[in-house]
Amino acid sequence: MTKKGSIRKKVSPLHLLRKPQYLMIMPSLIFLILIVVFPLVFLFRTSLYDLTFMNFRVGAPYIGLRNFIDLITVDTRFWTAIQNTFLFVALGVSGQFFLGLAMAIVFNRVLKHGSFISLLMFPSMVAPIVVGLLWRYILNSDFGIISQLLMMWGYSRQAWLADPSVAVYVLLLIDLWQWTPFMFLILLAGLQAMPQDVIEAAEMDGAGSVLRLFRIILPVIKPVVFVALSFRVMDAFKIFDIIAVLTGGGPGSATMTLSLKAMVDGFTYFRLSYASAVSVLMVILVTIFSSVFLRVLYKEMGTEA
Amino acid sequence: MKKKRKRKNLLMYVLAIFFLILFLIPVVWGLMVSLRPREYIEAFPPVIFAPVSFEHYLGIIERYPLDFYLLNSLTSVGLATLLSVFLGTMAGYSLARFQVGGKNLLFWILSLRILPPAAVIVPLYIIFRQISLIDSITSLVLAYTLLTLPLTIWLMRSFFLTIPTEIEEAAKIDGCSFYKVLTKVSLPLAAGGMMVSMVFCFIFAWNDYIFALILATSRNHTITIGISRLITIDKIDWGQLLAGAYIAAAPIFAFTVAVQKYILRGLTFGFVR
């Protein structure tokens, strides 16, 4: 690999384009710069003003870091949003992982292939909005089956989604229901790729199942685990659809998450600059957390990923 | 020892059935409810079996232009998939074979997957509005390409990395130019990888809600937005809501089952480097 210095000496950028490998990556780079980098810069710039729907055409006043200060000091919903987002990332993903692993182990034993498995993919593969609508029905306090069963058995009607202290956890459970099959599929594939003789040898040597699990299976599927976890963690930050459809961030703002807050501030209240500030902080938070998390995971996994 | 093994297998079977039930019962129940007459939905105490009725499905097809929504979804998602896989394959190839830009560029591109759509949507909305691109299929295509391109690049790079270079070298020695090697040798070998990328692009873009919500506000609704409008402010028609949900879910689920081979391959092969 030639050092950066030597390239700079000889070749001008335009000359680089003659080389096909640079030419091939250019369209993607141009696209990403136009559609990602430029909007992000614009986002940051917008957050320093006070752009709302009302002064959209006229021009917005510059207010510096005021949006950020307001967010951090005055706006309690912001901290709730951060808290909830991390709940989904940490608690949600771990739950999905452990349950998915349990399922993968079970199904690896029982039903290695077959259409049952693809049926199980329904929660993960359909649009999150469909999951949201389905559960909105099931959890409805008048007509949903859970509420009706409770009423039949003499309890008061179920209104978990309207209870600020419980709502988030209900959403976490739905999130678990939705994404565990995804984890399960990846982990199952990893388990199936494992050479059987290693396990059999361990069994014959008298190793108990728990020992087998931790000492043999987990290390072997490490790269798969890494992929599954990093994939889900990155996606968990973005959670939006389910919450928007089921509670809209409520009751109050008990189930608010970062994405939801940015959207609500921006498009319900039309405080575009304020929403931009939320987005900026969200991007910073996500970047920091993801790089730390991935680095730790990478080290743990010890693979080239 | 054998008895222990047998008991353990039985436990596994029971657990397997338990999991199947756990994940499929809500789906099956919702489907059943969508197929029953309105009186039975609102009945209390709840009934398990009710006569079959397609009234909700027919009702929702009449009431909303679902074919229009589906067409919009298909167009925007289809075009975005083609664009994303096209750009991604080319980028993946240069990254895999030539390590263009080194570790830094690679890391930057892959890290774009971290970006939440909600963060980029506010500026995109403002920008698209200024250039009056709002409400067009174009804006959706651009947004969906943005959504999927980092993933596509990652997948295609992984796939190209698994193709040995000897074949390409041999072709080069035989006198093929760079592009000839590419089109005659590399791309056909990566065709499977491209299928996987297309499948994932399609699924993620089709299921999107957030971009379609903001960038296609009044005219070019996609199917995901279409069914979300079933949550009305006054009394919700649950039958129609569920019918709509399943109409929206059916295409993508059928697609998923049909291409499950590719999904599996992508999840294991393409993701694990």
Give A211-225 pLDDT, tens digit per residue: 666 777 777 788 888
pLDDT of A157 reads 83
**Pairwise CA distance, residues A48 & A152, whole Å:** 56
Q: For the residues A19-25, what does the mean pLDDT come to?
A: 82
**A12 three-state secondary structure:** coil
Nearest-by-Cβ selection for B30 from A42, A106, A137: A137
Q: Report yes or no: A225 and A303 within 8 Å, Cβ to Cβ.
A: no
For A34-59, the pLDDT digits (tens) are 999 999 999 998 888 888 877 777 77
Cβ atoms A272, A53 nearer than 8 A: yes
- Mark yes or no for CB contact B209/A138 under 8 Å: no
DSSP letter for each residue of A82-97: HHHHHIIIIIIHHHHH
Taking the C-alpha atoms of residue B89 and residue B184, their distance in angstroms, rounded to an integer, is 15
| Residue-level pLDDT at B2 | 64
CA dist B47 and A56 (Å) reads 54
Distance CA B192, CA B241 (A): 38
The answer to whether A240 and A256 are in contact (CB under 8 A) is no
Rounded Cα distance, A77 and B92, in Å:
41
Yes or no: say if B153 and B86 are a contact pair by the CB < 8 Å rule.
no
Instruction: Work out the pLDDT band at A249, boundaries 50, 70, 90.
Output: confident
Confidence of residue A261 (pLDDT cuts 50, 70, 90): very high
pLDDT of res. A5: 45
B178 → chain A, closest CA residue: A20
Residues of chain B with C-beta less than 8 angstroms from the C-beta of A135: 26
The pLDDT-based confidence of B271 (bands split at 50, 70, 90) is low
Task: Report residue A304's pLDDT band, with 50, 70 and 90 as the boundaries.
Answer: very low
Look over chain B and give the mean of its residue pLDDT values, rounded to a whole number.
86
Given this model, what pLDDT does residue B1 score? 56
**Res. B123 pLDDT band, cuts 50 70 90:** very high
Alpha-carbon gap: A59 to the closest alpha carbon of chain B (Å): 13
Residue in chain A lying closest to B38 (CA): A143
pLDDT of residue A212: 65
**Set of chain A residues whose Cβ sits within 8 Å of the Cβ of B258:** none
> What residues in A contact B127, CB-CB < 8 Å?
38-39, 42
> Which residues touch A57 (CB under 8 Å, ≥6 apart)?
none
Q: Under the phi-then-psi rule, with left for phi > 0, alpha for psi from -120 to 50, and beta for the rest, what region is A144?
A: beta
Q: What is the mean pLDDT of chain A?
A: 84
Q: Which of A64, A46, A56 is closest to A273 using CA atoms? A: A46
What's the pLDDT tens digit per position in B52-65?
Answer: 989 999 999 888 88
Residue of B nearest to A235 (CA): B114
Non-local (6+) Cβ contacts of B29 within 8 A are A138, A145
Contact, B153 vs A28, CB < 8 A? yes
How high is the pLDDT of residue B131? 85
pLDDT attached to residue A1: 47
Whether residue A3 is predicted with pLDDT greater than 50 in this model: the reply is: no
Select from B41, B245, B256 the Cβ nearest to the Cβ of A134.
B245
In this complex, the residue of A42, A185, A262 whose CB is nearest that of residue B127 is A42
Show which of residues 29-48 on chain A sit within 8 Å of chain B, judged by CB atoms: 29, 31-32, 35-36, 38-40, 42-43, 46
Determine contact: A17 vs chain B, CB below 8 A. Answer: no
Choice among A5-9, A61-65, A168-172, A287-291 with the minimum mean pLDDT? A5-9
pLDDT for the residue numbered A114: 65
Residues of B in contact with A115 (CB under 8 A): 257
So what's the pLDDT on residue A292? 87
Is the CB of B37 inside 8 Å of chain A's CB atoms? no
Please tell me the distance from the alpha carbon of residue B197 to that of residue B259, in angstroms, as a whole number.
12
Nearest to B227 among A129, A138, A185 (CB): A129
* pLDDT 10s digits, A103-126: 988 888 776 566 677 888 899 999
Contact state of B242 with A137 under an 8 Å Cβ cutoff = yes
* Tokens standing for residue A152: 């039949």
Determine the Cα–Cα distance for residues B185 and B192; give it in Å rounded to an integer: 13
**Closest by Cα among B55, B26, B24 to A134:** B26
List of chain A residues whose C-beta atoms are within 8 Å of the C-beta of residue B109 = 28, 32
Does A152 contact B at CB distance below 8 Å?
A: yes
- CB contact under 8 Å between B88 and A185, yes or no, is no
What is the DSSP secondary-structure string of chain B? -HHHHHHHHHHHHHHHHHHHHHHHHHHHHHHHHHTS-HHHHS-SS--S------HHHHHHHHHS-HHHHHHHHHHHHHHHHHHHHHHHHHHHHHHHHH-TTHHHHHHHHHHGGG--HHHHHHHHHHHHHHTT-TTSHHHHHHHHHHHHHHHHHHHHHHHHHHS-THHHHHHHHTT--HHHIIIIIIHHHTHHHHHHHHHHHHHHHHT--HHHHHHS-SSS--HHHHHHTTS-SSS--HHHHHHHHHHHHHHHHHHHHHTHHHHHHIIIIIT--
- pLDDT: which is higher, B181 or A244: A244
pLDDT at A112 (0 to 100)? 59
Q: Find out whether B73 and B137 touch, Cβ atoms under 8 Å.
A: no
pLDDT of residue A2: 46
Residue B113 has pLDDT above 50, yes or no: yes
Q: Which of A41-50, A149-158, A290-299 has the lowest mean pLDDT?
A: A290-299
Three-state SS for A65?
Answer: coil
Q: Chain A neighbours among B 184-213 (CB < 8 Å)? A: 203, 206-210
CA pair distance B182, B195, nearest whole angstrom: 17
**Mutant choice from B73, B94, B122, B138 vs A, greatest count of A C-beta within 10 A:** B122
- Closest chain A C-alpha to B115 CA, distance in angstroms: 7
Assign A303 to helix, strand or coil. coil
The residue with greater pLDDT, A294 or B150, is B150
Which amino acid, B38? R
Q: Does B23 touch chain A (CB under 8 A)?
A: yes
pLDDT tens column, B71-84: 999 999 999 999 99
Average pLDDT over residues B245-250: 92
Residue type, A210: V
User: Smallest Cα–Cα separation from A121: which of A101, A100, A142, A148?
Assistant: A100
Provide the 10 A C-beta neighbour count for residue A272: 25
What pLDDT was estimated at residue A23? 84
Rounded-to-integer distance, Cα A17 and Cα A84, Å? 47
8 Å CB contact of B42 and A143: yes
Tens digits of residue pLDDT in B219-246: 788 888 888 888 877 778 899 999 999 9
Q: Which helix (H) or strand (E) holds A252?
A: none
Q: Which of A126, A153, A284 to mutate to test the interface with B (most CBs of B within 10 A)?
A: A126
Q: Are A305 and A229 in contact (CB under 8 A)?
A: no
Instruction: Check A138 against B256: CB less than 8 A apart.
Output: no
pLDDT at A210 over 90: no
CA distance A19 to B154: 22
Q: Looking at the partner chain, which of B26, B98, B146 has a beta carbon nearest the beta carbon of A138?
A: B26
Q: Is B39 on the interface with A (CB under 8 A)?
A: no
Q: CB contact, 8 Å: B10 with chain A?
A: no
Are the Cβ atoms of B124 and A134 closer than 8 angstroms? no
Of B176, B193, B227, the closest CA to residue B57 belongs to: B227
- Interchain pair B120, A36: CB under 8 A: yes
Helix (H) / strand (E) element for A135: namely: helix A128-138
Query: How confident is residue A209, by pLDDT bands cut at 50, 70 and 90?
Result: low
Whether the CA torsion A77, A78, A83, A86 is positive or negative: it is positive
Chain B residue whose CA is closest to A185: B264
A73 to chain B, minimum CA–CA distance in Å?
21
List the end-to-end C-alpha distance of chain B, in Å, as a whole number. Answer: 40
This prediction has a pTM of 0.88
Average of pLDDT values for B84-94? 93
Please tell me if residue A146 touches chain B, with a CB cutoff of 8 Å. Answer: no
Lowest mean pLDDT among A3-12, B184-193, B204-213: A3-12
Nearest in space to A135 (alpha carbons), one of B249, B245, B59, B36: B245
Q: What is the pLDDT of residue B89?
A: 93
Mean pLDDT of the B19-41 span: 91
**Which of A2 and B204 is assigned the larger pLDDT?**
B204
Cβ contacts from A onto B, under 8 A: 262
Query: Given this model, what pLDDT does residue A115 score?
Result: 67
